[in-house]
Amino acid sequence: MVQAFSSFEELWREICKDIRDGTLSPRIKSPKMRKAVLDIISPNPTLAAKLEAACQEIEEVDWFGFIPKLWPNVKYVYTIMTGSMQPYLKKLRHYANGLPLVSADYGSTESWIGVNVDPTLPPEDVTFAVVPTFSYFEFIPLHRHEKDCSSGGDDFLEDKPIPLSQIKVGQEYEVVLTTFTGLYRCRLGDVVEVAGFHKGTPKLNFVCRRKLILTVNIDKNTEKDLQLVVERGSQILNKAKAELVDFTSFADVSNQPGHYVIYWEIKGEVEDKILGACCAEMDKSFTDHGYVVSRKTNSIGPLELCVLEGGTFKKILDTFIANGAALSQFKTPRCTNNHVLLKILNNSTTRKFCSTAYATASYEQ
């Protein structure tokens, strides 16, 4: 949703022209799409003028309140807002200007899992009540490793799966489901925590995805850890009147010592000095003990920040869709080692910065 609104910011003049003239931009290449749209549209100068005036007004305030301005009868905003979508909440609130944000229900490609039984909760606090008739659910109890323990790219120990009736409040689990159409014991890779019960069925809080972990040495930083670090860095960016559009990361072990690479797509002009400060701030914001020790001993190299050209994440989305991914199921990966994705990221990098956060760190044996 945020990406669609961001695209509208860039293309609204073109859209207004299409509405005014009853035409379709040559930017739309698909013959089927062009025919489908051109068959139903006709010139509408009145609507175009109204939309143009509204866009000019909200553009002056950086598109604050974009949603209620263009859709005055809207009551709330409903979309996926948990997990890897949580970093978009700040921008969505900017567009919504006080409209309630309602987190969509919890599901996967394989099956729906739970429903949001309290839509008045802010997205950060939402829980999902499991609907037992969606599928047959099992849960793998998960226990976190000690921080100094190496676990081959995952930070959980697991027990044998248990049925829905045996799960406990406060425990973390991985969701396993068997569908009525024959999909047998499918592991979703979602880590959830039981927050309580709703009329006997557990309420789940989404924690993170398994194996989406940055690790080079004895360090382990999860998707949530990365989100917090990026938020710290982007605060400096915001003070410079710029905005983080999207991000992802990569643990680069091609050279020694290995190091983290964080990719940022930015909206606005930012001086190199500011971006260098963002890079250092993120590096020192990782609190994982294994990471801090490894940085101080130079077992992990300085964090690298790569700034991407505009539209890079749109290019990634288009690539995934062209290869058969469903638009409704696509989520920007926060940690990746996908070679196709990394090629796009590296080819789109315009500037690189190396952290100085531990430049004066010393180590005594």
365 pLDDT above the threshold of 50: no
Predicted confidence at residue 274, as pLDDT, reads 95
Q: What is the pLDDT of residue 212?
A: 66
- Which range is least confidently modeled, 25-39, 259-273, 324-338? 324-338
Q: Residue 167 to residues 142, 162, 198, 200, 299: CA-CA distances in angstroms? A: 12, 7, 14, 11, 40
CB atoms within 10 A of CB 74: 13
Q: Report d(CA 17, CA 25) in Å as an integer.
A: 9
Q: Which whole-number Å values give the CA distances from 252 to 16, 53, 258, in the listed order? A: 45, 48, 5
Whether pLDDT at 35 is above 50 = yes
pLDDT band, very low/low/confident/very high, at 150 (cuts 50, 70, 90): very low
Q: Are 25 and 12 within 8 A, CB to CB?
A: no
pLDDT at 300 over 90: yes
Q: Is the pLDDT of residue 209 over 90?
A: no
Q: What pLDDT does residue 146 have?
A: 59
Confidence check: pLDDT of 362 > 80: no
Six token digits for residue 34: 């062009």
H helix or E strand, kind and range, residue 136:
strand 136-144
- Is residue 130's pLDDT more than 80? yes
User: In the predicted model, what is the mean pLDDT of residues 256-264?
Assistant: 94
> Model confidence at 171, in pLDDT bands (50, 70, 90)?
very high
Block residue for tokens 């100094």: 148
In angstroms, rounded to a whole number, what is the distance separating the alpha carbons of residues 330 and 161? Answer: 28
Taking only the tens place, the pLDDT of each residue in 67-90 is 999 999 999 999 988 877 888 898
pLDDT higher than 50, residue 216: yes
- Measured CA to CA, the distance from residue 222 to residue 264 in angstroms comes to 18
Whether 127 shows a pLDDT value over 70: the answer reads yes
Neighbour tally for 158: CB within 10 Å? 14
pLDDT over 90, % of the chain:
64
Q: How confident is the model at residue 176 (pLDDT cuts 50, 70, 90)?
A: very high
Mean pLDDT of 101-119: 91
Distance CA 208, CA 83 (A): 6
Per-residue model confidence (pLDDT) at position 155: 65
Task: Please list the alpha-helical segments (H only) found in the chain.
Answer: 2-21, 31-38, 45-59, 66-70, 89-96, 223-239, 272-285, 289-296, 312-322, 339-347
Task: Report the alpha-carbon distance of residue 93 to residue 91 in Å, rounded.
Answer: 5
Q: What is the mean pLDDT of residues 253-260?
A: 90
9: left (phi over 0), alpha (psi -120 to 50) or beta: alpha
Domain range list for the chain: 2-96, 108-209, 223-354
As a whole number of Å, the end-to-end CA separation of the chain is 52
Average pLDDT over residues 321-340: 80
Local confidence band at 149 (pLDDT 50, 70, 90 cut-offs): very low
Reported as half-sphere exposure (CB side, CA atoms, 13 A), residue 290 has a value of 17
Q: CA 351 from chain center: how many Å?
A: 22
The average pLDDT across 219-226 equals: 85
User: Is the pLDDT score of 52 beyond 50?
Assistant: yes
Task: Tell me the CA distances in angstroms from 12 to 25, 28, 48, 51, 105, one per residue in order.
Answer: 12, 15, 10, 9, 31
Q: pTM score, two decimals? A: 0.72
Residues 6+ apart with CB under 8 A from 323: none
Percent composition of the chain: helix, strand, coil (DSSP 3-state, to 5) = 35, 25, 40
289 against 208, higher pLDDT: 289
Provide mean pLDDT across the span 156-167. 91
Least confident of 144-153, 178-187, 285-294: 144-153
What average pLDDT does the structure give for the chain?
89
pLDDT confidence of 154, banded at 50, 70, 90? low
Q: Which of 43-47, 210-214, 351-355 has the lowest mean pLDDT?
A: 210-214
